[in-house]
Amino acid sequence: MAPSRKKHAREVRRDKVREKALEQFDRIGDRLEGKGRTILYALAGLVGLAVLALIYQGWSGRKAEEATRALGRVTEIAAANVSSTTLPGATGLSFTSEKERAQRVIDEAQKVENKYGDPYKSLAHYFRAANLLTVDRSKGLSELEALAKSGDAEVAARAKFALAQAREADAQYDGAAALYLELARGQNLAVPADTTNLRLAAVYEKQGKKQEAADILFQIAKTAREAKDKDGKPVTQSAAAREAAQKLERVDPARHAQLPPEATPANLPF
């Protein structure tokens, strides 16, 4: 296979992985709203898993595979269940408290940072910093602020999103809104714009800025309903777009009535 064809194949695989990452972000949605730090862990686990696949496709060699497995362990712990009781028949990794889980993530992430170089080191640092918010909040915030200035655009975007979530949880709405707005304008695939805009709308609503929140929700839903594929046929709406429409109906019913009607996606089976 010619070099150009190999490069194209890698780009196609990379695009597919990124699409999966976007789908995972969409699934987070409003079911995590109000759960504070839980959102950070969910984001860390979901995004990390997709990023690992991307890294694996772009790197080769035994050392890269070893680093990928080590970072995979970090994401597995970050996404593990937390429950004070063990359910009958339950399998898989679980912890009795968020603090216990966070500490395990920190410990495993530190091992990756100490042993491997980038991109593994920077991603592990992000996991460790995000989970420090539970164990040592001030230190976690400090490290996330440093990561937000990272030369790695994707790591910086994730750090900013984590910081925005922390500001929102602390009712520092102006600071949270500024970070969400910056991320939305940046269009970084590490943090989908619709996910960021949904959080921005939620912050505006908490600030009593109903009109601003409605404008954002309307735009998300309208864009999704009008989206077409390469053949000019309607595409399936994302979870984020459907959630935006639902929120808009609650925030501003009159504005919701102005949305274009939902079209039947071309790729639905009949």
Q: Residue 197's pLDDT is what?
A: 93
pTM of the model: 0.75
Euclidean distance between CA atoms 154 and 152, whole angstroms:
6
pLDDT in the model for residue 171: 92
pLDDT at 29: 39
**pLDDT of amino acid 32:** 40
Looking at residue 35, what is its pLDDT? 43
SS3 for the chain is: CCHHHHHHHHHHHHHHHHHHHHHHHHHHHHHHCCCCHHHHHHHHHHHHHHHHHHHHHHCCCHHHHHHHHHHHHHHHHHCCEECCCCCCCCCCCEECCHHHHHHHHHHHHHHHHHHCCCCHHHHHHHHHHHHHHHHCHHHHHHHHHHHCCCCCHHHHHHHHHHHHHHHHHCCCHHHHHHHHHHHHHHCCCCCCHHHHHHHHHHHHHHCCCHHHHHHHHHHHHHHHHHCECCCCCECCCCHHHHHHHHHHHHHCHHHHCCCCCCCCCCCCCC
Is beta strand 94-95 parallel, antiparallel or unpaired with respect to 81-82?
A: parallel
Q: What is the mean pLDDT of each run of 10 residues along the chain (270 residues)?
A: 50 44 41 43 47 53 81 85 72 83 93 89 90 92 92 88 91 95 84 89 95 95 89 85 92 93 62
- pLDDT at residue number 20: 42
pLDDT of residue 41: 41
pLDDT, position 160: 93
